[in-house]
């Protein structure tokens, strides 16, 4: 039986880190040296070699087909359903009131539309914020490209009913990119 010395047992690693070859003496006769293959390591990919990808990554973005809530429409909705406009207040007090009321209506109007018209909700939330230019805006979602069930645009009749309910008959829906949680709104 051959004796093995620690100095005679070494392992060579190829530069691509994809093959490992052993220098240990082979006790069987007539066989080739054994080789094992491994996937490229993370270290190898950091040195400029690209790791194989499992699937191609496309420019998919989470978008919704929606009507953006306007100040005029929210004020008309508030007057019809709540009639809470402060009377006898200064202009500055009315601005402060509207800033807080606008945020509340941005939650109430979409949740009412979801319940009344059976509209989709994005990730189970009752409201959705979208990117519009440099700011974030509240919208009433009509379709959502995240699932097959919700990615179809609704009928023109349903869009007209929703627009009338939120007092924005002249507004047309369009596709918006959904804001992530943590994005800051800029209402001013």
Following DSSP, what letter does each residue of 13-44 receive, concatenated? E-TTSSEEEE-SPP-SSS-PPPEEE-PPPHHH
DSSP single-letter state for residue 155: P
Quick one: pLDDT at residue 173? 95
Quick one: pLDDT at residue 112? 94
Q: Tell me the pLDDT tens digit for each residue of 96-111.
A: 988 889 989 999 999 9
- Distance spanning both ends of the chain, measured CA to CA: 86
H/E segment holding residue 175 = strand 174-178
How far from 155 is each of 110, 132, 134, 139, 177, CA to CA, in Å? 18, 24, 30, 18, 21
Quick one: pLDDT at residue 2? 55
Quick one: pLDDT at residue 188? 46
Tell me the pTM.
0.63
């Amino acid at each position: 039986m051959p004796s093995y010395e620690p100095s005679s047992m070494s392992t060579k690693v190829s530069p691509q880190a994809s093959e490992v070859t052993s220098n240990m003496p082979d006790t069987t006769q007539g066989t080739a040296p054994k080789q094992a293959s491994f996937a490229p390591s993370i270290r190898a990919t950091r040195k400029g070699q690209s790791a194989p990808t499992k699937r191609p990554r496309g420019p998919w973005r989470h978008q919704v087909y929606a009507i953006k809530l306007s100040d005029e429409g929210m004020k008309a909705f508030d007057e019809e359903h709540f009639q809470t406009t402060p009377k006898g207040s200064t202009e500055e007090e009315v601005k402060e009131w509207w800033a807080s009321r606008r945020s509340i209506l941005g939650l109430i109007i979409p949740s009412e539309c979801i319940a009344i018209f059976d509209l989709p909700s994005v990730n189970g939330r009752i409201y959705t914020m979208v990117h519009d230019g440099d700011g974030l805006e509240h919208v009433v979602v009509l379709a959502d490209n995240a699932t097959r069930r919700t990615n179809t645009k609704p009928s023109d009749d349903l869009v007209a009913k929703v627009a009338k309910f939120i007092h924005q008959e002249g507004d047309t829906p369009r596709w918006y990119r959904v804001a992530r949680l943590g994005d800051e709104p800029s209402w001013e």
